[in-house]
Structure 1
């Protein structure tokens, strides 16, 4: 499966052309990758462990070489350019700060090795510390900083020499939830201010949705879908993407009739629903129906939705702003509905039955998984 892109090669700042990678000469961990990244874009490579995303980042950085194909940066092939001459900033999960150097010395290091004048180094270190809101900590040693502060220093060090491209490999993985969310916004704001091109690797779907201009969803060495966050979430192209991006209800069935972009699907319990025909080709095809929990309405008006079924409440979990409701519907006991707290219905009690409904547009008939 070869992955095409939606940027013309001529406009690409970073370009992977038919790139393959094998470590043993037999198994491909990256398969025929064609990916174009525009200048100034924030692109995230998202996927489970072993999907090939980090390998792609390491090939772009120069720490791994491609088995086949070309990698182009700003119009120039970089296959034979060593990492330190590619002019790329890097941020790693473990920060990789020099423990024997102060914060300011860590930031000065990339400038020193590029033989920048001392006055320029001092000015850029000061500016970088201000950018990550740590102007008073230049004399501290890394061990004297919190995890969040160390990560800010790592980001500042990657940006201090003003690279056009910054690569980030799971940079927030070691932080607690609140700090990780705060750093997501800070990195995004820095990107917006500087206009630098960022290629970001994570397995955290919410992180990818929060930060990215586009997301490349990897599985088994192949980009399964490449799109902006909202398109990935609202219009997944296959069952893997639907399941990996956000919470998702699935129902198994067979295409009973197909009419252009819509279809009728008979589920395993005999129910028939109407769906968008996204990744099915013909009547008789097996399919996985994908439906987001927040798209399901409780006790809809008669005729409001073409898909309207009786559901038996299995479990209710109070989550403050919404009630996470697990029901049995169409034979699926693990069907989740997110009901806003203000819309909680009196019939929402374990063991009770109620009607649920959803629009055909929110219901996607995908490949059988």
Structure 2
């Protein structure tokens, strides 16, 4: 590996009971200076990976490298990694300044250096006047800023964050997303971040590793994950997505023709992750890519839908429809004068270009739809 990688997971597996694997043969490089998010539902293996990297859980198989040094047998406190937890983990009997000084004093830094670094860390998280307060005297957002400052104060090469914003309300959570992103941009420190919140991952990350069932389903930049999901799980875990089930009837180059269930007709889509002719497939289509009442010949795929519900959301109208047997087909209609007359019960045509629909793997029996 090159020096551009700060972390390397090499064939890492983890089992708690000796039988089932929570993490299955993970191979992953974290690039120096990047913000990489491990994203996935509960039980997908993302937090276990973070705990193995931190040293709180041993790997069952494989090796983890930090700065090209194997660290499987290095205790957590000797790995030099900053950690931020959801519950802040601040010492309640210490002031904010004492909390920040603690990791520096453990490293036996001179007192003058400790004071300078604590002062700089408080300024970094915009809390320069709060050094004398105790954690209990701070709001949740302020406590989380202190936790971030404490993880960064000893200038580690790597900071791990485990659902750090999970306890905050929506507005504060969004504010802290930008705070942490800006701190990362300014310092250039490497960050590995764990969350189950896909909007958080898209907002903050250089790359996102989408986990499911102990395996990385896709590793890519946020815009690639959203625009080019490689399978049905990623398509429906990242952002809102319409799902239409059907059967592949023809494959020509990069495209395929799919006969939709429910008598919806045949549509053209990008052939991304399908079997041969006759195989089942899931079409992935973003709500904002669907056009209502398209002009004749404007788009190749045209279906008929029935409006079930209209929800006014200011800049757009979220329109729920029945399309090809799917009662949860969503169209995001821009809030323009032309759609003011749309109402529940209306039957309308809708369409999209072939490049906006991706033919992916079909759901397994009993699996996520």
| Matched residue, 2:353 | 359
Cα offset for 1:10? 6.0
| Matched residue, 1:282 | 276
Correspondence 1:45-124 to 2 at 5 A: 45-124=38-117
Give 1:191's match in structure 2, choosing from 184, 190, 203: 184
Distance between the aligned counterparts of 2:279 and 2:218, measured in 1?
22
Q: Decide whether aligned partners of structure 1 residues 308 and 106 sit closer, same or farther in structure 2, where only a CA change above 3 A counts.
A: same
Distance between the aligned counterparts of 1:344 and 1:68, measured in 2?
60
| Matched residue, 1:144 | 137
Cα offset for 1:331? 2.1
Cα offset for 1:318? 0.7
Question: Any stretches of 5+ residues in structure 1 without a counterpart?
Answer: 1-7
Matched, 1:323 2:304: no
* Contact 2:3-2:67 within 8 A present in 1 as well: no
Cα offset for 1:342? 2.1
Matched, 1:335 2:329: yes
| Matched residue, 2:22 | 29
SS at match of 1:40: coil
Matched, 1:308 2:302: yes
* Contact 1:9-1:15 within 8 A present in 2 as well: no
TM-score by length of structure 1 reads 0.97
Cα offset for 1:11? 3.5
Distance between the aligned counterparts of 1:66 and 1:281, measured in 2?
36
Distance between the aligned counterparts of 1:342 and 1:155, measured in 2?
43
Give 1:130's match in structure 2, choosing from 114, 123, 132: 123
Give 1:159's match in structure 2, choosing from 142, 152, 156: 152
| Matched residue, 2:36 | 43
Cα offset for 1:123? 0.2
Q: Decide whether aligned partners of structure 1 residues 293 and 332 sit closer, same or farther in structure 2, where only a CA change above 3 A counts.
A: same
| Matched residue, 1:176 | 169
Cα offset for 1:147? 0.2
| Matched residue, 2:366 | none
Distance between the aligned counterparts of 2:172 and 2:159, measured in 1?
21
| Matched residue, 1:294 | 288
Distance between the aligned counterparts of 2:5 and 2:147, measured in 1?
27
Distance between the aligned counterparts of 2:2 and 2:361, measured in 1?
30
Distance between the aligned counterparts of 2:337 and 2:43, measured in 1?
42
* Contact 1:225-1:232 within 8 A present in 2 as well: yes
| Matched residue, 1:4 | none
* Contact 1:42-1:199 within 8 A present in 2 as well: yes
| Matched residue, 1:5 | none
Count residues in correspondence.
362
Distance between the aligned counterparts of 2:353 and 2:310, measured in 1?
23
Cα offset for 1:43? 0.2
